[in-house]
Amino acid sequence: MIRVVRSTVIDAPVAAVWEILRDFNGHDRWHPIVRRSMLEDSKRTDQVGCVRNFDLEDGANVRERLLSLSDSERRFRYSIVAADVPLRNYVAEVRLKPVTDGDRTFWHWSSTFNTPPGQERELAALVATEVYEAGFAAVRARVERPTGGNRRTWDAAAAAPAVRQGAGAAIEGTAIVIDRHGGAEELHPQPAEAPPPGPSQVRLRQTAVGVNYIDVYCRTGYFDLLDPPGVPGLEAAGVVVDVGANVGHLAPGQRVAYACPPLGAYASVRTMDAGLVIPLPDHIDDETAAAGLLKGVTAEFLLHRVHAVAPGETVLVYAPAGGVGRILCQWANRLGATVIGATSTDEKARVGRAAGAHHVIVPGERSLEEQVRDLTDGHGADVIYDAVGRDSFAHSVAALAVRGHLVSFGQASGDIGPQDISMLAGCSATLSRPNYVHYTDTPEKFGASADRLFDAVQRRIVTIEIGQRFALENAADAHRALEGRATTGSTVLIPGPIQDGQGEAES
């Protein structure tokens, strides 16, 4: 009899880790070697005795029975019923314990089993590293808090010297200016001033600026949003320096963020309308806000307002590894929907599954609509979030369930062009073409959306991953990385040290 034990400490509260692990059929959403898992006999995932039937990435099939489940002890045991791997009499236990010292989680994963003679060492190593340790790493990546070093906060004391410059003086800083449409080289830093705020305005020192693909379209002129010379950028976080008349919801020293037109976020200081600038709760750090507000608010209104996703619905998300797509998968999953991602590569499929897609399809020999029908017993998708546009539109319509809802919110592959709406009669479809501005153009709309996003971030329903940081001056490098598909997660620009030396430098 071989016994394998692995244990680790995860830097997240035990409830957050247990929420992931107690779902016996949910391992295909986080474990890198599990490609696809389903429960046999229509049993529930927390029904003791249920059998999960899953395929590994290498093609092997495994069936495992849930032997015991305890929410009070945060523990479950399971055994292998049948497997393409020669693990015999395999019984395993997963157990979590709270580490009260630091609000962390101790995770103990153990098993006993027999193997064919001569394979003991090899199979014990496989279980220990490929299953247990790889599982630890995957869950850790999902739930651990951002490290302290990533948090950039400003307090009132840091902002005070700027206020003392006097209400009438402009504050000097840096902005990234485009003099003409073109390549990344057109982005160049230039001294800029933030004038004192007028009525209903606020003046900010920005600490983190979000970079979105739409910024590239603005730079190249593909979108007619920036008339050179001008400053790109739609979202940033920072601290209030001072406010003009009629601004009641903001005060000097407060941490804030925004994600809205007009453009101009690529700057270290900015004076702008205060209406759509919102205070940040303590649990949302500046970089998370700058990196996630635009994408997160987009996901919020797509899932809650354009279509209110209900438990049991099937949701199809294109580009589940993309910025908005990842959040759509995470959130739709937690809303109780069955989430199907559609992407182009196995690597992106893996990211989509990690984000919460129950299934990820890679259209190829078999069309998207055929694969969606297969996964849904012919039902189709109740709602489809499609930002691909021209190349996907017809497939999306064909993959809809009866009375399904196609939400077209972008056109990465090109304009959809004129369409004959009678095609929607085939399944009594609803078609929406939402525009970000119309869901976010008042403080009430934007604030409600952001509140729901921040709550989801705090509850770890949605995670904002910052893949890379660039100094604001190096915005051109950030665009090159984005266009070269060399980025992962979100990208932020960090303004350099401020003039009075109170700021934090970022190299």
Partner 1 sequence: MARVYISSVIGAPADRIWQTVRDFNALPDWVPAVRESRIEGGQPSDQVGCVRAFRLEDGGFLRERLLALSDYDYSVTYAILESPMGVQNYIATLKLMPVTDGGRTFAEWTAEFDCDPAAEADLVANIGNGVFQAAFDALKVRFGS
List residues near partner 1 by CB under 8 A: 5-9, 97-102, 104, 106, 108, 133, 136
Nearest residue to 312 via CA among 335, 283, 284: 335
CB of 105 to partner 1, least distance (A): 10
CB of 108 to partner 1, least distance (A): 7
Copy the structure tokens of residue 407.
């939400």
CB of 130 to partner 1, least distance (A): 15
* Rounded Cα gap, residues 407 and 72, in angstroms: 42
CB of 351 to partner 1, least distance (A): 24
Copy the structure tokens of residue 337.
């929907």
Q: Pick between residue 5 and residue 141 the one whose CB is nearest to partner 1.
A: 5
Q: CA 48, 355, 322 angle in degrees (round to 5)?
A: 160
Residue 284 and residue 208 in contact, taking contact as beta carbons nearer than 8 Å: no
Q: Pick between residue 14 and residue 278 the one whose CB is nearest to partner 1.
A: 14
**Cβ neighbour number for residue 265 with a 10 Å cutoff:** 31
CB of 31 to partner 1, least distance (A): 17
DSSP state string for 143-168: HPPPPGGG-----HHHHHHHHTT-TT
* Rounded Cα gap, residues 18 and 139, in angstroms: 10
CB of 83 to partner 1, least distance (A): 24
Q: Pick between residue 133 and residue 441 the one whose CB is nearest to partner 1.
A: 133
* Residues facing residue 326 across a β-bridge: none
Q: Pick between residue 105 and residue 174 the one whose CB is nearest to partner 1.
A: 105
Nearest residue to 349 via CA among 385, 317, 387: 317
Q: Pick between residue 140 and residue 350 the one whose CB is nearest to partner 1.
A: 140
Q: Pick between residue 135 and residue 380 the one whose CB is nearest to partner 1.
A: 135
CB of 114 to partner 1, least distance (A): 22
Q: Pick between residue 128 and residue 225 the one whose CB is nearest to partner 1.
A: 128
Residue 383 and residue 402 in contact, taking contact as beta carbons nearer than 8 Å: no
Residue 289 and residue 259 in contact, taking contact as beta carbons nearer than 8 Å: no
Q: N- to C-terminal Cα distance for the chain? A: 55
DSSP code of residue 474: G
